[in-house]
Amino acid sequence: MAVSGRLPACGVLVGSEKGEVPGLSSYAARIGRHFGLPSRVRRIAMLSVHTSPLHQPGTGDAGGMNVYIVELARQLAAVGTEVEIFTRATTGALPPTVELAPGVLVRHVDAGPYEGLAKEELPAQLCAFTHGVMQAWAGHRPGHYDLVHSHYWLSGHVGWLAAQRWGVPLVHAMHTMAKVKNAALAAGDRPEPAARVIGETQIVDAADRLIANTAEEAAQLVHHYDADPALTAVVHPGVNLDRFRPADGTAAARARLGLPQDALIPLFAGRIQPLKAPDVLLHAVRILLDERPALRERLVVPVVGGPSGSGLAKPEELHKLAARLGICDVVRFRPPVGQEELADWYRAASVLVMPSYSESFGLVAIEAQAAGTPVIAAEVGGLPVAVRQGESGFLISGHDPADYARALRRFDDHPELAARMGVAAALHARGFGWDAAARRTLDVYADVIAERGGHLRSVHV
């Protein structure tokens, strides 16, 4: 293949400021990947309007997406791509910028009142947020950002305008979709509004590339939003394998947390809201105790997390349910905890129970498995990818508490099952490191910049 243009002696030419050769940047990007050389994406603007990467996951609107953004940004920076994350300021005490990690900067944007603003009220603040993003950009030279990567539909609308104004590509990750959530609502949960459906449809049309967590999510984008399959890339999220690992084992973790060594411990970890279905676990525990009253003496059910989403309307509802079911003595409610302590809760558990009605992937399931703990999960969304059926855990079709009680019974009948499946779970989770997720994401960035005729940088070797 003949390509005109001059290649520098110490690098791969992937675009020039003048005299751009049609198709050259795409060719160079492919050549770089062929020889194991990353295409140089210098700096990206990452947008997370409604939840800050600095917030504690497990309460409010902070959850798996926060973990995703933090870990992906850190890994991108580690391989040379700087990341600036724009998020809404939620208190006046926050500094304008915070260094999250070397090469990762969090920018706080004033948009609406700092506190008391629900996620559903944020669309009215998108103009103010966009203005703040543009102000930050105005202080830089042209070409400061190579690309915009937005997370969740609110960020997508800001990203759409920013990318157009800056003349760079927009990559968008939905994380959750209104149409998918509305098709699988928990009893009594409120549906996502029509405005969100319209907004998501517009972003799908506007984005240069969509990133889906799984092939199923990519298919949902095509089916529900008429996304172009050719512009939809699948990138599995990762897990921090240094933090979430078996470490010194179950006994040591239980000792640190003050849990009995001989207990059966089914754990729920995550945001407490109808979508996550922690009530299913509590009902399953009641069924199990009805069948096996003696189990009460050695059953501990930790619920680690805080109210979120529609669960904020009735923050004590799960406590009241435990009381109505007569299981307050075995259920232990704990507030959200930091990542290091969360890893101990995973290690201490016999099994993680995740009966969600919808999950785009289920990072909690991968974290638990990486820590050596099997998972009982609903067979929804990305959980069939996150959990290997019969090896690293059990997938349940539907949300009947009796089915979850039946799965829990297996761990009571076979005390060795948790340890045996935990070994397989840890091995399975090792295939989901953030380094692989970052490499795949960089490939998406490189491809979309090349397609837009952008200027990928020279990589020196």
In tens, the pLDDT along 189-220 reads 889 999 999 999 999 999 999 999 999 999 99
| Residue 458 located in a structural domain | no
| Residue 339 located in a structural domain | yes
Mean pLDDT (whole number) for 32-38: 41
Please, are residues 61 and 84 in contact by the beta-carbon 8 Å criterion? no
Same-domain pairing of 360 and 425? yes
Residue 266: CB partners within 8 Å, gap ≥ 6? 281, 285, 301, 349, 350, 351, 352, 353, 376, 408, 411
Please, are residues 271 and 306 in contact by the beta-carbon 8 Å criterion? yes
Mean pLDDT (whole number) for 92-113: 92
CATH classification of the domain holding 117:
3.40.50.2000
Same-domain pairing of 213 and 342? no
Same-domain pairing of 84 and 30? no
Binding annotation for 1D-myo-inositol 3-phosphate: 50, 61-66, 119, 152, 176, 196
What pLDDT band is residue 91 in, cutting at 50, 70 and 90? confident
Same-domain pairing of 69 and 216? yes
Binding annotation: 50, 56-57, 61-66, 119, 152, 176, 196, 271, 276, 337, 346-347, 349, 359, 367, 373
Please, are residues 303 and 333 in contact by the beta-carbon 8 Å criterion? yes
| Residue 358 located in a structural domain | yes
List, for residues 273-282, the tens digit of each pLDDT value. Answer: 899 999 999 9
Report which of 289, 304, 450, 270 is spatially closest to residue 378, judged by C-alpha positions: 270
Q: Whole-angstrom Cα distance, residue 183 to residue 357?
A: 10
Structure tokens at 250: 């179950």
Binding annotation for Mg(2+): 346-347, 349, 373
Cα–Cα–Cα angle for 386, 440, 63, rounded to 5 degrees: 45
SS (H, E, C) 345-398: HHHHCCEEEECCCCCCCCHHHHHHHHCCCCEEEECCCCHHHHCCECCCEEEECC
Same-domain pairing of 26 and 46? no
Q: Whole-angstrom Cα distance, residue 55 to residue 156?
A: 20
pLDDT for 56 equals 66
SS3 110: coil
Binding annotation for UDP-N-acetyl-alpha-D-glucosamine: 56-57, 64, 271, 276, 337, 359, 367
pLDDT for 1 equals 35
Same-domain pairing of 142 and 261? no
Structure tokens at 3: 């390509």
Q: Whole-angstrom Cα distance, residue 123 to residue 128?
A: 10
Q: Whole-angstrom Cα distance, residue 423 to residue 401?
A: 27
| Residue 300 located in a structural domain | yes
* 14, 107, 143, 256 from 45: Cα distances, Å: 21, 10, 12, 40
| Residue 5 located in a structural domain | no
List, for residues 399-430, the tens digit of each pLDDT value. Answer: 999 999 999 999 999 999 999 999 999 999 99
| Total domains in the fold of the chain | 3
| Residue 4 located in a structural domain | no
| Residue 224 located in a structural domain | yes
Residue 323: CB partners within 8 Å, gap ≥ 6? none
Structure tokens at 292: 């096996």
Mean pLDDT (whole number) for 342-355: 98
Residue 381: CB partners within 8 Å, gap ≥ 6? 180, 214, 216, 217, 356, 358, 359, 360, 361, 362
Same-domain pairing of 423 and 445? no
pTM as predicted: 0.83
Concatenating the DSSP letter of every residue in 195-237 gives HHHHHHHHHHHH-SEEEESSHHHHHHHHHHH---GGGEEE---
Euclidean distance between the first and the last CA atom of the chain, given in angstroms as a whole number: 23
List, for residues 365-378, the tens digit of each pLDDT value. Answer: 999 999 999 999 99
Q: Whole-angstrom Cα distance, residue 101 to residue 124?
A: 31
Structure tokens at 221: 């984008």
Same-domain pairing of 315 and 394? yes
Same-domain pairing of 353 and 271? yes
pLDDT for 118 equals 78
Same-domain pairing of 86 and 220? yes
Q: What is the DSSP letter of 276?
A: G
Report which of 138, 170, 63 is spatially closest to residue 448, judged by C-alpha positions: 170
Question: How many CB atoms are closer than 10 A to CB 432?
Answer: 21
Query: What percentage of the chain exceeds 70 in pLDDT?
Result: 86
> Residue 54 corresponds to which amino acid?
L
Q: Whole-angstrom Cα distance, residue 82 to residue 80?
A: 6
Same-domain pairing of 58 and 148? yes
Same-domain pairing of 257 and 113? no
pLDDT above 90 (res 355): yes
| Residue 338 located in a structural domain | yes
Q: Which domain holds residue 134?
A: 40-238+434-453
What pLDDT band is residue 3 in, cutting at 50, 70 and 90? very low
